[in-house]
Amino acid sequence: MKLKSLFLILFISIIGLQAANNNKLFGVWELVEFTLVQKGEPAVSDEKTLRDAGAVWNMYFSEDGTFKQEFNMQSPDMKMETETGKWRTANDSLFVELQIDTIINKINYSCILLGDVVVLTLQHPTTPDKVISKFRRK
């Protein structure tokens, strides 16, 4: 009986922690630092470098679990693009499902929330390469 009670309390605490993490992400976030790590070598673009280049990447996290991102860093002509989907957190992960035409693209970020800054890391599945993006609440 005590084990069941302990499990129930632990389960409720984990669900509460996940909801608290979700609450902290609600809102709009703008890119302030972008690091591409290839073969162990980081190439960092700080906020000034990004702004001088005209780079934009904004993420919108809604309370109902919907997600939107606007960015211009994918194409050489820096054309603004918008993608929508759903999001959720679990422990130190952010899961985003983007609807791109008829395909759902699932992305699993490692997520560290530091007040009004969130650091998202996207690890390549088969190499040590990764992208580390730092966003600030708008």
What is the CATH classification number for the domain harbouring 86? Answer: 2.40.128.280
Q: How many Å apart are CA 79 and CA 81, to the nearest integer? A: 6
Q: Using the structure block, give the residue that is written with the tokens 């690890």.
A: 123
Q: How many Å apart are CA 16 and CA 8, to the nearest integer? A: 12
Q: How many Å apart are CA 88 and CA 99, to the nearest integer? A: 15
Domain that holds residue 40: 2-137
| pLDDT tens by residue, 20-53 | 455 689 999 999 999 999 999 999 999 999 999 9
Total number of domains constituting the chain:
1
pTM assigned to the model = 0.81
Q: 134: exposed, middle or buried (C-beta count within 10 Å: 0-12, 13-18, 19+)?
A: buried
Record the tokens describing residue 49, joined without a space.
Answer: 């470098």
